[in-house]
Amino acid sequence: MKKPLKGFINLMKSSFSKSKPLWCLHGFLGQSSDWNFFYSDLNPRIDKNIKLFFPSLYPKLKLFHEGFSMQEWAKGFCHQVRNRSLDNFIMGYSMGGRLAFHLLMEDPSLWKKAIIISSNPGLRTKKQVLQRNQSDKKWAENFLSTHWNTLMQQWSQQVVFRKSHFSPKRLEKDYSREVLAKILVEWSVAKQKNFRNFLSKIKVPVLWMSGEYDENYVKIGEEVSQLSPYIEHFIVPHSSHRVPWDNSKVFLEKVNSFICS
């Protein structure tokens, strides 16, 4: 990889001399602005030295031409964070949670605590990998060719989003279709390692959150929480996959309690 560290990701500029950054990583199709409610509702309640940061997670297209993997993204992110603060919290939703796994593995010493929301720690069998790879490649093709409004309807109709109370407005002008297609393939869970063994040895406190109606991810959370005493699984009531937005009140209360404990 040819030095993607400078400017490859949009980290908010601020003074880190005394702050404890909480890095909030959005999911696929997410935007930094998705966390706006989080900033206004949580920030006044927590330690005044904790600052919230919402980086955009969409690399430049040219980096994917150089084989830009999640591992390489994590190396670059940790490099930038390390130069700013050594006392960090990380929180990731869905794809952002999978990126958080890579950050925790890349440099565990950087992270004081981690919050993982509706995320897949990895696939177990070759059959699952093959099926997911085929599915993500098909979605990638759709993201390159399907009319945007139709595509967004199809995306939101996936089983994982059923019973969700939150349906974000996504505008084509805010994205590069080519980058989205590359992320679906290159950052697919099919290309991700199975992090269960790593999580069984983790020494960083982890709050693992899943939505009550998101049955598959509830099962994952229950399973992963048995791997290590450092992992706490919390099921957010009356919510589906989009936990932070489906039940913001309970979500914020739990995050606040975990960070401040």
pLDDT for the residue 38:
74
Q: What are phi and psi of 115, to 5 degrees?
A: -125, 120
Element of type H or E holding 140: helix 126-145
pLDDT for the residue 2:
36
Is 36 a member of any domain? yes
**Beta carbons within 8 Å of 86's beta carbon, 6+ residues apart:** 109, 110
Instruction: Render pLDDT for 57-107 as a digit per residue (tens, 0 to 9).
Output: 998 888 877 678 999 999 999 998 988 777 899 999 999 999 999 999 999
Is 28 a member of any domain? yes
Is 172 a member of any domain? no
Which pLDDT band, with edges at 50, 70 and 90, does 9 fall under? very low
Q: Residue 213 maps to which CATH number?
A: 3.40.50.1820
Half-sphere exposure of 125 (CA within 13 A, CB side): 3
Is 179 a member of any domain? no
Taken in order 217, 70, 183, 55, the sign of the CA dihedral is: positive
pLDDT for the residue 42:
64
Is 210 a member of any domain? yes
Lowest-pLDDT range, 8-12, 65-69, 113-117? 8-12
CB 75 within 8 A of CB 99: no
Mean of pLDDT over the chain:
89
CB 24 within 8 A of CB 38: yes
Residue 113's domain comprises: 20-123+193-260
Number of domains in the chain: 1
Is 143 a member of any domain? no
Is 211 a member of any domain? yes
pLDDT for the residue 15:
44
Is 250 a member of any domain? yes
Residue 220 has pLDDT above 80, yes or no: yes
Q: What are phi and psi of 154, to 5 degrees?
A: -65, -40
Which pLDDT band, with edges at 50, 70 and 90, does 261 fall under? confident
